Structure 1
Amino acid sequence: MIRLENVCKSFRVGTGYKVVANNVSFEIPKGRAVGLLGRNGSGKSTLMQMLAGSMKPDSGRIVTTGSVSWPVGFQGSFHRDLSGAQNARFLARVYGVDTQELLDFVQDFSELGKHFFEPVRNYSSGMRSRLGFSCSMGIKFDTYLIDEVTAVGDAAFKRKCEEMLLDRLKDSGALFVSHNMSDVRKICYSGAVLEGGSFSFYTHVEKAIRLHENNLKYRSPPE
């Protein structure tokens, strides 16, 4: 379970401020996949980083129970000078899982071949996403934070990711960011929309999708 209590977050942009969260309170239900929707620049990735604990809100608090993954798909998740294998080994130590089991899983699932033993700085964005998704699925979390990652790669790898994620979600919850509404419908039961610093949660994902698609009719959030 993840709960936000009166969370505020903003950034200085030029002479003004970009508001990501304006006194936001909501709870991600335990064991449920929630689609996080919002236009580009609405602050979805920032919210994911706050939920993961890598960024602090300006005020309010975030309460978590159980284990929460890092934001899978976020390009800053790995040390660029280490190989994929070394990054996976480091994560195994941090999260207290069997190192060899995680290495074997990631090497097999990611399909990176010899690149698994090369520095991450040489990876394409797709290769980094494969590594991130594979490491995350190799560690069982109570809540997964997934940021657009299943949209990367060829059709066969995408299907493989979807199948693995759906398998993990039998026992875990997730906050899932995607611009592909077909993926959101397939993976998520509930939905939430981030717009202009406000957060709207819906028990049924279709209601969230309708609000999000209506918001996209506007070039920018209404004043």
Structure 2
Amino acid sequence: MIELNRVTKEYAQRHGRRTILREIDLSIEKGEHIGILGRNGAGKSTLIRLLAGSELPTSGTIRRSMSVSWPIAFSGGFQGSLTGLDNLRFICRIYEVDYLSALPFVEEFSGLGTYLKEPVKTYSSGMTARLAFAISMAIDFDCFLIDEVIAVGDADFQRKCRMEIFDKRADRTGILVSHDPHLMRQYCTSVYVLHEGTLHQIPDINEAYEFYARVNATF
């Protein structure tokens, strides 16, 4: 289970502090597929980072009794001067995963070929995303955080990504941030709308989209 209890997140700005998330309560059971809707700037990515543990809440608590991925395809943790293979080796060491067992999957899935032996700082953004996604899938997590990454790469690579996340790992917990109504309906068992720092659970997905459209009509 992942449990958020009265989680608030604030950031210091030039003219004071801005509250992004306000006293969020959320419980996610093993095997659930949660969708989160919200306009740009609503705090969706902030919530994902809090769930991942890459940021801490200003107040409130987050408890995790299952392993949680970093945001899928997040490449901010790469060391640019290291090669793709060296970054894989380093990440595997952190998560206590056998590097040699993960390597064949990363080589095949990323499709980077000899570039895996080149420094990541020489990669294009698309190549970096391919590496990040491949490494994300090579680590066996109980819960995957999916933050608007299905559109990386060409159509074939997107299909590979969807199959890895939504088909092969259908039994895992998933938390999806997306504006794609088809993907939400296909994948998610429940949907939340993040609006003005508050997380609203809407039991029916169609109703969730109606609420989302209504509260954001003035933006």
TM-score, structure 2 length as denominator? 0.92
For structure 1, which runs of at least 5 residues remain unmatched after alignment?
none
Question: Corresponding residue for 1:181?
Answer: 181
Residue 31 (structure 1) shift:
0.7
Q: 1:5-45: CA deviations, max 9, x gaps?
A: 00010112331433221111111222111112111111111
Question: Corresponding residue for 1:8?
Answer: 8
Question: Corresponding residue for 2:148?
Answer: 148
Equivalents in 1 of 2:102, 2:161: separation in Å? 17
Equivalents in 2 of 1:65, 1:204: separation in Å? 28
Equivalents in 2 of 1:128, 1:186: separation in Å? 28
Structure 1 pair 205–119 and aligned structure 2 pair: CA distance change class (3 A) = farther
Q: Which is worse superposed, 203-212 or 73-82?
A: 203-212
Residue 208 (structure 1) shift:
2.7
1:95 maps to 2:95: yes
1:193-208 equivalences under 5 Å are 193-208=193-208
1:37 maps to 2:37: yes
Question: Corresponding residue for 1:83?
Answer: 83
Residue 203 (structure 1) shift:
4.1
1:72–1:129 contact (8 Å) kept in structure 2 = no
Letter in 2 for 1:126: G
Residue 212 (structure 1) shift:
2.1
For 2:150, what is the secondary structure of its paired residue?
Answer: helix
Letter in 2 for 1:89: R
Q: Which is worse superposed, 57-66 or 28-37?
A: 28-37
For structure 2, which runs of at least 5 residues remain unmatched after alignment?
none
Structure 1 pair 211–124 and aligned structure 2 pair: CA distance change class (3 A) = farther
Identity %: 43
Residue 204 (structure 1) shift:
4.1
Letter in 1 for 2:6: N
For 1:151, what is the secondary structure of its paired residue?
Answer: coil
Equivalents in 2 of 1:34, 1:125: separation in Å? 28
Structure 1 pair 190–100 and aligned structure 2 pair: CA distance change class (3 A) = same
Structure 1 pair 170–180 and aligned structure 2 pair: CA distance change class (3 A) = closer
Q: Which is worse superposed, 119-128 or 21-30?
A: 119-128
1:191–1:206 contact (8 Å) kept in structure 2 = no
2:4–2:26 contact (8 Å) kept in structure 1 = yes
Q: Which is worse superposed, 126-135 or 4-13?
A: 126-135
Equivalents in 2 of 1:162, 1:58: separation in Å? 34
1:13-162 equivalences under 5 Å are 13-162=13-162
Superposition RMSD on alpha carbons, in Å? 1.7
1:191–1:207 contact (8 Å) kept in structure 2 = no
Q: 1:180-215: CA deviations, max 9, x gaps?
A: 222222322221121111011234433333322333
1:2–1:65 contact (8 Å) kept in structure 2 = yes
Letter in 2 for 1:208: A
Give the number of aligned pairs: 219
Equivalents in 2 of 1:120, 1:6: separation in Å? 39
Equivalents in 2 of 1:206, 1:130: separation in Å? 33
Equivalents in 1 of 2:76, 2:207: separation in Å? 32
